[in-house]
Amino acid sequence: MTKRRALILVFLSIFIPITAVLYQRLRATVPLFQKAAPIVTKMASEKPPVIVVGAGLAGLAASYSALEAGAPAVRLLERGPKAGGNSIKASSGINGAPTKYQNVELYGLDTSFFSDTVVSAGTKLSTSVAQPIREHREKLISTLTNRSASAIDFLVELGVDLSVVTMLGGHSIPRTHRGSGKTPPGAAIVTTLLNRLKEKGDRFQLLTESEVTKLLTDPNTGAVTGVEYRALNKVAESETDADATPVPQRVFLHGPVIFTTGGFGGDTHGLLQKYRPDLAGLPSTNDPRPGSHPILSAAGAKLVDMESVQIHPTGFVDPKDPNARLKFLAAEMLRGEGGILLFNGQRFVNELDTREKVSSVIMNLPQSADDEGGLRQWDIQILLDPGACARAENHVAFYMWKGLLQKKKVSELDDVTRQTVKEYAAVVRGEAKDEFGRLNFGHWNLGISGEITGDEEVCIGRVTPIVHFTMGGAVFNERAQILASDIGETPEKPIPGLWGAGEITGGIHGDNRLGGSSLLECVVFGRIAGEEAAKTALVKE
Ligand code: FAD
Ligand code: SIN
């Protein structure tokens, strides 16, 4: 052995053990070095499971339809501690047309859902938009509206009550369905679907506190082959030190993937700030959480309409906590059932115009003074007459219990408001035309058949515009395939092994989503995605 070789051996015999000890110390103390070995889950069946990411309505609908279509198993991964997402908060209902619950005698057969949706989409479907892009968007809207009646049937057959129909802004006739009981529509639909899924036994598994961090792809084809996720409630086994800082377990799961992770309305300082910095300071109805869109982009998906963010005109300002950023929604059905909006006691807008228009009219009014910490709010009153209060009684009871609505006698209202109510009653009676163009008055009955005595009770509360929904998201097609091509680009480039549904997808709603069409898109495209992914799972070994 040469002297040089001997020296190298001595150096290595000292350096390697020291490095090993140092590394073990670092793993025991510094989270960065605690990268646990990933677990690769093994399935009982040879066929892979369908993997659904995000347990809101889109994820639940996709899971159910994948199992119905024969998928060997479904693994539904949810970042939060329970299923539901924003879907469980939905309060006005789900659109469908034509359905047996709509009033055909009064309104005729509903044939205008497609055209209402196109009109609401605004500039994104104007005649100046290139033909291939128009076609792409119109195909999505046709799928949504043509399958809406069967989406309602599907839910009703599962056991959801959707027998009450109301009209929301931008619709030409009532087509938004909810139940007659106390449970709001989002909660009713989510819990029913979840219960039906649990009846599927071992084939269905909901894994909560499981955050998908990456889509696994085949480097040669770009096809999605599964997901990597962090099991937040499971600690990776430390090979070295029992006292080490716990690290969530990393897991690889293989199979076709349906992405249903919702929108980015709650990602205030992330995607919302990136795409709509001008909306800073507006409160939100969405739970604060980061958008998962970058995970799709990293797998090649294109995004569209990311700047189209819906401002809902009516979030409740809680008198006990007026500066709260996360607010309760004053459901649009309150206006649909007859509620009106007032600024300084006077009406100022057709309350059933699209959300985009109503919000923009409000935001052109002077802002209120309570803008603590950059919060931007307006001082608008929502007022329901006894007819509207009665028809929305379950919602009203909840909002009153929360202190968001109060009951007042007409005689207790200020002079301007009392005069407005009187004039509006004359419009509802058909004696005058509404100066703002409102044509449907819901169930308003105050002053309809006689004098207003002043003893009648109205419900009144303060509302303000609020970030509510993100129209943009991953480009997808009517087969719910997520695309690596831009909207309208031909040929389309579906990413093999990847589907999407719900608020994560973009291209349907354009500038403005119609109320009630989000729950609908979750069901329609969730069902399509589930069927398509099941087919793929069945052919794979
Ligand atoms: P969500 O229901 O938001 O579910 C997405 C889930 O994915 C979440 O649980 C989230 O934790 C999970 N997730 C996200 N990222 C990851 C990840 N990386 N790994 C694992 N899990 C992840 N629409 C209507 O049509 N009618 C209504 O009446 C109505 N009312 C509404 C009332 C309120 C207060 C709100 C906020 C919204 C309302 N909407 C309504 C809109 C509608 O509820 C939502 O747009 C829709 O339900 C979104 O469903 P989703 O399944 O796409 O997403
Ligand atoms: C609402 O209840 O006003 C929300 C309905 C929706 O977002 O579709």
- CB 334 less than 6 A from any atom of ligand 1: no
What is the predicted pLDDT for the residue at 38?
59
Counted domains in the chain:
2
Judge contact between 182 and 198, C-beta under 8 A: no
Please check whether residues 281 and 353 belong to one and the same domain: no
Q: Is the CB of 515 under 6 A from ligand 2?
A: yes
Residue nearest to atom 24 of ligand 1 (CA): 516
3-state class percentages of the chain: helix first, strand second, coil last, to nearest 5: 35, 20, 45
Question: Which residues lie below 8 Å from residue 482, measured CB to CB, with a gap of 6+?
Answer: 259, 296, 301, 474, 475, 476, 494, 495, 498, 499, 500, 505
Q: Which of 339, 326, 345, 352 is nearest to 396 (CA)?
A: 339
| pLDDT at site 450 | 81
Centre of ligand 1 to C-alpha 92, Å, is 14
From first to last of its 541 residues, what are the pLDDT tens digits of the chain? 455 665 555 555 555 445 444 444 444 334 334 444 556 554 545 789 999 999 999 999 999 999 999 999 999 999 999 999 999 999 999 999 999 999 999 999 999 999 999 999 999 999 999 999 999 999 999 999 999 999 999 999 999 999 999 999 999 999 999 999 999 999 999 999 999 999 999 999 999 999 999 999 999 999 999 999 999 887 766 555 556 666 788 999 999 999 999 999 999 999 999 999 999 999 999 989 999 999 999 999 999 999 999 999 999 999 999 999 999 999 999 999 999 999 999 999 999 999 999 999 999 999 997 667 789 999 999 999 999 999 999 999 999 999 999 999 999 999 999 999 999 999 999 999 999 999 999 999 999 988 999 999 999 999 999 999 999 999 999 999 999 999 999 999 999 999 999 999 999 999 999 999 999 999 999 999 999 999 999 986 5
User: Is 290 near ligand 1, meaning CB less than 6 Å away?
Assistant: no
Query: Has residue 504 been placed in a domain?
Result: yes
Residue 5 falls within a domain, yes or no?
no
**379 in a domain, yes or no?**
yes
Same-domain status, 149 and 201: yes
Q: Say which of 312, 355, 395, 468 is annotated catalytic.
A: 312
Cα-to-centroid distance, 55 and ligand 1 (Å): 9
- Cα 339 to ligand 1 centroid, rounded to whole Å: 26
Domain-ending residue, one of 445, 467, 489: 467
State in Å: Cα 168 to ligand 2 middle: 8
* 116 & 81 share domain: yes
> Which among 415, 432, 467 is the end of a domain?
467
* Residues 293, 351 within the same domain: no
Residue 145 and residue 204 share a domain? yes
Whether residues 442 and 486 share a domain: the answer is no
The CATH number of whichever domain residue 285 belongs to comes to 3.50.50.60
Distances (CA, A) of 321 to 89, 275, 280, 317, 327: 20, 29, 19, 8, 10
Q: Which residue has the tokens 């590394």?
A: 23
- The answer to whether residue 312 is catalytic is yes
Q: Is the CB of 186 under 6 A from ligand 1?
A: yes
Same domain, 67 and 145: yes
Residue that is last in its domain, among 467, 482, 504: 467
Q: Is 476 found in the same domain as 447?
A: no
At 257, is the secondary structure helix, strand, or coil? Answer: strand
CA dist 147 and 478 (Å) reads 11
Adjacent-strand bridge partners of 458: 408
425 lines ligand 2 (CB under 6 A): no
Q: Is 184 in the pocket of ligand 1 (CB under 6 A)?
A: no
331 lines ligand 2 (CB under 6 A): yes
- Measured by CA distance, the residue closest to atom 32 of ligand 1 is 90
> Is residue 488 a part of any domain in this protein?
yes
How far is the centre of ligand 2, averaged over its atoms, from the C-alpha of 93 (Å)? 7
**CA-based nearest residue to 98, from 186, 172, 157:** 172
Measured CA to CA in angstroms, residue 433 lies from 309, 425, 427, 522, 524 at distances of 33, 11, 6, 38, 39
CA dist., res. 463 & res. 377, Å (int): 9
Confirm whether 325 is a catalytic residue. Answer: no
What pTM, to 2 d.p., does this model score?
0.91
Q: Which atom of ligand 2 approaches the CA of 517 most closely?
A: 8
Range of the domain at 497: 50-208+258-308+471-537
∠ CA 209-213-217 to the nearest 5 degrees?
Answer: 130
* Cα 224 to averaged position of ligand 2 atoms, centre (Å): 34
Are residues 501 and 462 both part of a single domain?
A: no
- Give domain status of residue 442, yes or no: yes
Is 242 a member of any domain?
no
| Residue 13 confidence (pLDDT) | 53
**Alpha carbons 68 and 85: distance in angstroms, whole number:** 23
Q: Whose CA is nearest to atom 31 of ligand 1?
A: 90
In a domain, 507, yes or no: yes
Ligand 1 centroid – CA 454 distance (Å): 42
Whether residue 229 is contained in a domain is answered as no
Pocket test for ligand 2, best of 144, 148, 468 (most atoms within 8 A of CB): 468
Among the bound ligands, name the one nearest to the CA of residue 187: 1
334 lines ligand 2 (CB under 6 A): no
Q: Is 282 in the pocket of ligand 2 (CB under 6 A)?
A: no
> Which of helix, strand or coil describes residue 492?
coil
The finding on whether 516 has its CB within 6 A of some atom of ligand 2 is yes
Residue of minimum CA distance from atom 7 in ligand 2: 515
139 and 127 in a single domain? The answer is: yes
What pLDDT was estimated at residue 33? Answer: 40
Please indicate, yes or no, whether residues 272 and 136 belong to a single structural domain of this protein. yes
Ligand nearest to the CA of 170: 2
**Could you tell me if 333 and 300 lie in one domain?**
no
Does the C-beta of 470 come closer than 6 Å to ligand 1?
A: no
Q: Please give the full DSSP string across 140-173, using - where no structure is assigned.
A: HHHHHHHTHHHHHHHHHHHT----EEE--TT-SS
Q: How far is the CA of 90 from the centre of ligand 1 (A)?
A: 9
Point out the catalytic residue in the list 134, 335, 355, 509: 335
Atom of ligand 2 nearest to the CA of 513: 8
Q: For position 378, which CATH number holds?
A: 3.90.700.10
